Amino acid sequence: MVDETNGGSGVIGMEFPILYFIQGELAHFFGFHPWLGRFINVLLSTLGLAYFYALIVRFSGERIAFYATLLLGVSCYFMYSRKVMSDTAALAVYIMGLFYFFEALRFGRWKDVVLCFGLLSLGLLLKISVLPLSTTVVFAYLYFRDKPKKTWVLTLPLISVLPAFIWYFIWNPFLAKRYGNWYNLGGNFSDGVRLFFEQPFALLRHLIFHPFFSYLAFGLILFALYRAFRKQPDLSVRVAAPFFFLLFMAYALKSGEIFLTHEYYILPLVPVLAILGAYALKEFGKYAWILLSLIALESIANQSHDFRYNTKEAYKLQLEPIAQKHIPNNALVAINGNSNPLELYFLGRKGWNLSSEVMCDVQFIHKLKTLGCRYLILNRHAIPSEFEGLCIFQNQHYAIYKL
């Protein structure tokens, strides 16, 4: 359930909410603190890095695995691993599942089979955006074509898609229809193609800069691609890589505008780029550490803004004590949060998160009143003018009107 209820219950279909459930359960013991959600994601994401190393070292040796893990560790994965969101956790859990997939493929132990299916399924449930990584099955089939293996295990990554399919394409649309809250199924592919052609520079910047927040890293990836074409990698890589990029582009086209405006949508591509970069670093011999250090410095520096206290936004913390004093706990409210739910969350009340333009629509506000909305909270930074009506509180940041 979410606070942005539009007058209803707030039930909404989103990603599988196990991380938020765990956070809520821990809050019963420790009280509610933002660090709880961050801690869970940091723990899973860090564990994912360990499994990523263990997975890559099996095929490429210690040096490549170490370089790839460090590159992944300083990529955008670094920034999003400490947020209360499921993207890096989903990626980490899916990587764990891939590790046990290769264990099961080689030895056929039921422990590995169960862990493989459970973790791959959970990773997809947490965020279906990791689906392109399921093309690892193509790599596995070709890589082990002449090696001993348990062939039936190759079906596990495919079967593990079923729980996510049921959750995202049957259950969530049902919830949207039943409770009236929007669920994002993406757009159609033709709209995505048209959007990418209309904004080619936005797409290029997204693909060039955001995976590592580093132009040096992008140069390294270009060098890696050049070397790959020159050296002709194994058939398993030559076939699996196009499958992965086709599925990733299908996901990007389906996401459309959201893909261009949300940096973390690039995350499923980053482990593959990290492996490419690791192979390129190996070509630099003893100078690889110099280049890797420069990439790390550039990447972390470009993400440092996310680790600083945003003093310009700090005024929003005033909303909680203001609401406690002037608005009943069960009252429905509306605020011009302009699609960001942060202020509605700080209010601790349920209701509507409106754009500033809609907030100024008198007829729409009258409709909200008929739906049970009793208080309007005006962010005066977004709408400096005052409303007509009963103002029960006002300071330089906010004004509260009672309907």
Q: Looking at the structure, do residues 24 and 137 belong to the same domain, yes or no?
A: yes
Q: Looking at the domain assignment, is residue 200 inside a domain?
A: no
- The percent of residues in the chain predicted with pLDDT above 90, rounded, is 67
> Going by DSSP bridges, is the β-strand pair 373-379/390-394 parallel, antiparallel, or unpaired?
unpaired
* Chain segment 61-118, per-residue pLDDT in tens: 899 999 999 999 999 999 999 999 999 999 999 999 999 999 999 999 999 999 999 9
Q: Looking at the structure, do residues 300 and 321 belong to the same domain, yes or no?
A: no
CB neighbour class for 345 (10 Å; exposed up to 12, middle 13-18, buried from 19): middle
**Is the pLDDT reported for residue 136 higher than 90?**
yes
Q: Looking at the structure, do residues 284 and 390 belong to the same domain, yes or no?
A: no
What gap in Å lies between CA 130 and CA 158, rounded to an integer?
Answer: 13
CB 1 within 8 A of CB 12: yes
* Chain segment 30-46, per-residue pLDDT in tens: 888 878 999 999 999 99
Q: Looking at the structure, do residues 117 and 173 belong to the same domain, yes or no?
A: yes
> In the structure, what pLDDT confidence band is assigned to residue 402 with cuts at 50, 70 and 90?
very high
Q: Looking at the structure, do residues 299 and 354 belong to the same domain, yes or no?
A: no
Q: Looking at the structure, do residues 303 and 315 belong to the same domain, yes or no?
A: no
> In the structure, what pLDDT confidence band is assigned to residue 10 with cuts at 50, 70 and 90?
confident
What gap in Å lies between CA 145 and CA 368, rounded to an integer?
Answer: 63
Q: Looking at the domain assignment, is residue 7 inside a domain?
A: no
Q: Looking at the domain assignment, is residue 334 inside a domain?
A: yes
What gap in Å lies between CA 234 and CA 231, rounded to an integer?
Answer: 9
Q: Looking at the domain assignment, is residue 356 inside a domain?
A: yes
What gap in Å lies between CA 402 and CA 393, rounded to an integer?
Answer: 10
Number of independent structural domains in the chain: 2
Predicted TM-score (pTM) of the model is 0.91
What gap in Å lies between CA 83 and CA 368, rounded to an integer?
Answer: 33
Q: Looking at the structure, do residues 86 and 156 belong to the same domain, yes or no?
A: yes
3-state secondary structure of 295: helix
Q: Looking at the domain assignment, is residue 197 inside a domain?
A: no
Q: Looking at the domain assignment, is residue 336 inside a domain?
A: yes
Q: Looking at the domain assignment, is residue 9 inside a domain?
A: no
* Chain segment 326-336, per-residue pLDDT in tens: 999 999 999 99
**What kind and span of H or E run contains 379?**
strand 373-379
Q: Looking at the structure, do residues 65 and 143 belong to the same domain, yes or no?
A: yes
Q: Looking at the domain assignment, is residue 8 inside a domain?
A: no
Q: Looking at the structure, do residues 290 and 315 belong to the same domain, yes or no?
A: no
Strand partners, 351: 4, 333
Q: Looking at the structure, do residues 274 and 363 belong to the same domain, yes or no?
A: no
Q: Looking at the structure, do residues 155 and 98 belong to the same domain, yes or no?
A: yes
**Is the pLDDT reported for residue 183 higher than 80?**
no
Domain that holds residue 171: 18-184+214-246+264-307
Radius of gyration, alpha carbons of the chain:
24
CB 92 within 8 A of CB 45: yes
Scan for tokens 């992944």, then name that residue. Answer: 72
Q: Looking at the structure, do residues 390 and 276 belong to the same domain, yes or no?
A: no
